[in-house]
Structure 1
Amino acid sequence: MTIQNKKNRLRTEINNLKQISLTTLLSGLVIISTLMTLTIMVISSYTSQKQSLINNVLALNYESAVQMSQTLDLLFQSMQQSLKYGASHLQDTDFTHKLKLNNTLSLIQNSSDYFNSVALTDETGLLLSMSPYSLVSVGKHIRSEDAKAAIKARASYISEAYITPYTKNRIIFLSEPIFDKEGKYKGILSGSILLQQNNILNLSFGNQLKRSDGSYFFIVDHKGTLLFHPNINLIGEDISQNKVVQKLIKDQTGKERYVNLSGVDSLAGYYKVPANNWGMVIVTPTQTVFDQLNRQIELLLLYTLGPFLILILIVLRVARKLTQPFVFLTNLINQVAAGQTQLPPVKPHWNREANMLNLKIFAFMEIFKNKTNQLVIDARTDVLTGLNNRRTFEEVIQQWIQDETPFAMIVLDIDHFKIINDTFGHSVGDEVLKKIAQLIQASVRPEDICSRFGGEEFVILLHDSNSMMAYLIAEYIRISVKESVLVTNHLVTISAGITEFPLHSLSATELFQLADNALYQAKQEGRNRTIIAQQASKS
């Protein structure tokens, strides 16, 4: 093959290649990099917010379960008091006077919305009267075992859910004994709640029956039988195999993510009702959280779509006139894709359009860098106090030990913090943590590291310091806390333990353990004091 033939063949192969203009290539790269950045931003936002939303829903459901349980407990106490008041008016009533009995029971039943019906039964189990009146039942002896047990108890009584022999209604009832002035037992006054019809539970909790976010609640008895549910057809079903209900049966309360008997991933808060040992469960489908998160992502995309479209349009127009910035921008995009967020200084370009393109791209990259930096800060910071978190503490101490940088460690713990939470509430406890964190931060230098280690425990790393310097700082913090009014009419104190690198140990784990032991010793010796750890053998 001659040289000319080879040239012709090469020229043919080049002509057959699909040509891409420099403008198209530049525009395509900018668009792709923009979409990649948006994708990274969306993924980062989604990941960071998902667990936070789940935790918030769990906490909200648990608080709601506690409040509704307390409300239900008060409701049953009020119903019991209503029956006691009615029983006191019946103690001297002639039980043979049927019309008077009927009128009295009608008055008791209509004086409140507590009961679907009220009934008067004598000590032999004979139903003397009821409201609303029923010819089918009045004048007959009761047949249900719960009613017989109530008569036999001669005391306040709350029945389990059961189906009535005559009306076949699923009910629960409350009863109060009736004694005359001589103390002779005459019978019981009872109030019934029809579980599958409109009742006091619907009236009290109807507006919370099912929220717009898909959340709902249900009530079970101590055996796991449904007593109240948005779907009345489910009332009476045995759901004792439900994971949350099993915990209620075992007298446990709390919050957790679980899969219900229908296979639905759910977030539940659950609590016991003291008055009757029932269980209150507030449930939110986990999908609701994901839907909420998706809506937030959609809003994020909606607000960022406009600027991104404007940026792309500018790039498309400018790219037709420019080729020189192409290499620079390509290298910049490759750096960002490789995870390098340190942007080079902006250099002005001789061409107006090229200069505008540079400024727009750099502004976009700066936004991305700031969001990335904020995510890094959030990952290293304790949300409540604003101090560094445990992860930051562990990274810094390992780095200082690796660099052989002398430092001292102070481990602080709030004395009797549980009493503060139990007495004044967790919101007051959180305020105490934040105020002590502020006192700690104000007592150290910029180069020192303050971290919340967990719960009510804090750790301070003092750069280029020894045990005595640490002791003075710890004492200053301790006295500041003691003299500050953090909780009204309650003295708040702290205890502290100190170690020093490399004097006490060359191991981060052992340094912390020695400081923690010193802290424990301070607690044992009466709290509100600072102790320097004993020197251990270096390893």
Structure 2
Amino acid sequence: MSGKSLLKIDLRGLILLLAAATALITLGNALYSSYRVQRQQLIDNTLEANRIYAAKLAASTDQFLHSAQQQLAYSAGMMSKPDGLGRAVEEVERLKSQTDSFNSVTVADATGKVIAISPETIQIVGNTLTSVNAQRALTEQKPFISQPFVSFAGNLVVFISHPIVSDTGTYLGFIGGTIYLKQKSMLHSLLGSHFYTDSSYIYVVDENRRLLYHPDANRIGEAVGPNTVIDAVIRGESGKSQVVNTASVEMLAGYAPITSAHWGIISQQPIETSLLALNTLMLNMLKGILPVGLLGMFAIWWLARLISRPLGQLADCAKNMDSPEAQGKIREVKSWYFESTQIKRALLLGISLLQSKIGKLNKDAQTDPLTGLLNRRAMAQVLETYRSEQTAFSVVVLDIDHFKRVNDTYGHDTGDKVLVQLSKIMQKHSREADSVCRVGGEEFLILLPGTSLEAAGNFAERLRLAVEQASMALIGHITISLGVAHWPDDAKELSETLKLADDRMYQAKQLGRNRVVAHAVEGTVHSCEPQ
């Protein structure tokens, strides 16, 4: 696994990103909240408008039916006088000529025999009426409005009846008017006079769910299926509701009952049509906000550039603090606000300290005098470079098994030769970018930049085999124990990573020496046995 490349972003980009995110979130929230409020308000207003319209139209229809009943009652009163039925023909003609309330008017005597009818094109004078509504009029002998029915001529008809009773209380017959629901009539004109041009429409149903009026004349007489609004209105309720019609279109409906006839009026409009104006409004609002938003983003970009420029310049200088011209470049940076001024002062002070440190470090040997490997000071510098550049690496810590016996048996000079030969083996198996360090008497450390834990374990195993197979001067063969760890996967701090590798090396010794131990997950020991 190669070293992890950590995301870097400069201050200007961070300010722009934060400002843009804040602006977009605020704008999005404002637009969404405004849309939701306006949408609900439009829906509520449309529902209320449809409820009011349905209620007014129901009241007008009720008034029309009541007026029609009054007209029949007046005619019945005129014919209740002595020899009043003799004027039946005159009375039906008067009703037809004075009002468009009825498509036809009929007068029948107490036996159901027709004695007058208008228009005269209907040739039933002298016939006895046997229809359900005629028999009802003869039997009940009181005013009523019938349920819609299909006449002999195939018309969908509503029949309004009023009894004719003499001054002495004798039942003389009845006068009735018919209203054709599929043809031109005053009721049809009343329901068809729709004053809205916003795709809303009305329809009328009776208590049997039959359509008595609909903009599509072909549907008049059709029985409507389950519908919550129709269910409510035929129960005599009025109100408003969102409902899905038979064409699966979501509608905003208002409804009201026509109490005198047990009918219901529903006024409704597609919700999509109601919200068209809102969509246009939101689009115009967005167009109005966009120029201001772009201007604001330009202003934020300019301010971000102004704020981040001195810090960016100081950061560039900080990367090359060891260069001779670094101090001069830092002094040229225009730090116009407090924080950048303090950073500038700290960098100048740091350069002075760095230069003094460099002078001192140049005097110190950075390599181990015996083996020529990097010493602890050099190792610390390498680690600091890895930290500052966020370079992932693996570390291998190794120790010679039973090295004290070598010194005790063959002397320290022989032990030193073993250390030198071991150092050469480690350098031979390491890459140019790797750092091989001596950190103690017989303890060594190898830093492997851009190397995964698994690859480092394989490297450690190859090194272990090479040492095991190598012939050392005077003493023959030696073995080593190795521990492996990875930064930043195993630990976030460098010191913790080094300690973890050291602990694993001691685990290798505890497990019998001459082996590699690496942890992929805390608590799991991976041991590579000798081949």
Normalised by the length of structure 2, the TM-score is: 0.51
Q: What SS class does the counterpart of residue 65 from structure 1 fall into? A: helix
Deviations 1:518-539 (A, max 9, x none): xxxxxxxxxxxxxxxxxxxxxx
In the alignment, what sits opposite 2:267? Answer: 282
| 2:202 maps to 1:206 | no
1:254-273 Cα offsets, whole Å, 9 max, x none, are 32222222212122222222
Distance in 2 of aligned mates of 1:268 and 1:143: 41
Q: 1:127: how far off?
A: 2.7
Please report how far the alpha carbon of residue 171 of structure 1 lies from its aligned counterpart in structure 2 after TM superposition. 0.9
Give the distance between the partners of 2:287 and 2:78, measured in 1 at CA: 68
Distance across 2 between alignment mates of 1:95 and 1:326: 109
Q: CA RMSD in A?
A: 3.9
The Cα of 1:301 is off from its aligned counterpart by 2.0
| 1:184 is aligned to 2:173 | no
Residue identity (%): 30
- The reply on whether 1:50 has 2:39 as its aligned counterpart is yes
1:307 to 2:292 alignment: yes
Q: Which has the higher contact order (CA 8 A, sep 6+)?
A: 2
Alignment match, 2:74: 85
Q: 1:38 Cα deviation (Å)?
A: 3.4
Amino acid of the structure 2 residue aligned with 1:127: V
Q: Distance in 1 between matches of 2:13 and 2:296?
A: 16
CA distance in 1, matches of 2:298, 2:94: 78
For residues 250 and 88 of structure 1, what CA distance do their matches in structure 2 show? 34
Structure 2 residue 141 is the aligned partner of structure 1 residue 157 = no
Cα offset, 1:282, TM superposition:
2.0
8 Å contact from structure 1 (residues 22, 323) kept in 2: no
**Aligned partner of 1:148: which letter?**
Q
Distance 1:47 1:145 in 2: 55
> Quick one: distance in 2 between partners of 1:326 and 1:87?
101
Q: Deviations over 1:121-149 (max 9, x none)?
A: 22222333322221444443334312321
SS in 2 for 1:241: coil
Q: Corresponding residue for 2:99?
A: 112
* Alpha carbons 2:78, 2:84 under 8 Å: kept: no
- Structure 1 position 125 matched with structure 2 position 112: yes
CA distance in 2, matches of 1:326, 1:232: 76
CA distance in 1, matches of 2:298, 2:120: 80
* Contact 2:64-2:187 at 8 Å conserved across structures: no
Give 1:234 deviation, angstroms. 1.1
Task: Give the alignment's TM-score, normalised by structure 1.
Answer: 0.50
**Partner amino acid for 2:121?**
S
Question: In structure 1, what is the Cα distance between the partners aligned to 2:219 and 2:31?
Answer: 41
Measured in 2, the distance between the counterparts of 1:273 and 1:326 equals 78
SS in 2 for 1:171: strand
Kept after mapping to 1: 8 A contact 2:240/2:253:
yes
Q: Does the aligned pair in 2 maintain the 1:253–1:271 contact within 8 Å?
A: yes
Structure 2 stretches of 5 or more lacking a match?
1-8, 312-334, 337-531
Compared with structure 1, are the counterparts of its residues 300 and 89 closer, same or farther at alpha carbon in structure 2 (3 Å cutoff)? Answer: same
**Residue matched to 2:250:** 265
Is this contact kept in 1: 2:11–2:308, CA < 8 A? Answer: no
Please tell me whether the aligned partners of residues 65 and 282 of structure 1 are also in contact (alpha carbons under 8 angstroms): yes
Taking the aligned partners of 1:84 and 1:27, their CA distance within structure 2 comes to 83
What is the distance in 2 between the residues matched to 1:213 and 1:326? 58
Query: Which AA in structure 1 matches 2:137?
Result: A
SS, match of residue 246 in structure 2 = coil
Aligned residues: 312
Please name the residue that 1:234 is paired with. 219
Alignment of 1:378-417 (within 5 A): none
Find the aligned partners of 2:295 and 2:123 in 1 and give their Cα distance: 79
Counterparts of 2:10 and 2:126, CA distance in 1: 100
What is the alpha-carbon distance in structure 1 between the residues aligned to residue 210 and residue 61 of structure 2? 17
Distance in structure 2 (CA, Å) of the matches to 1:325 and 1:72: 76
Instruction: Encode CA deviations 1:404-459: one digit per residue, 9 max, x unaligned.
Output: xxxxxxxxxxxxxxxxxxxxxxxxxxxxxxxxxxxxxxxxxxxxxxxxxxxxxxxx
Partners of 1:87 and 1:189 within 8 A in 2: yes
Cross-structure match for 1:59: 48
Query: Within the alignment, does 1:193 sit opposite 2:179 as a pair?
Result: yes
Alpha-carbon offset, residue 170 of structure 1 = 0.4
Report the CA distance between 1:22 and its aligned residue: 11
Matching residue of 1:293: 278
* CA distance 1:135–1:44, shift in 2 (3 Å): closer
Give the number of the structure whose alpha-carbon radius of gyration is greater. 2
Between the aligned partners of 1:268 and 1:54, the Cα distance in structure 2 is 10
Instruction: Please list the CA deviations of residues 90-141 of structure 1 after superposition, one character each: whole Å capped at 9, or x if unmatched.
Output: 33485886xx644432221221232222222222223333222214444433
1:25 deviation in Å?
10
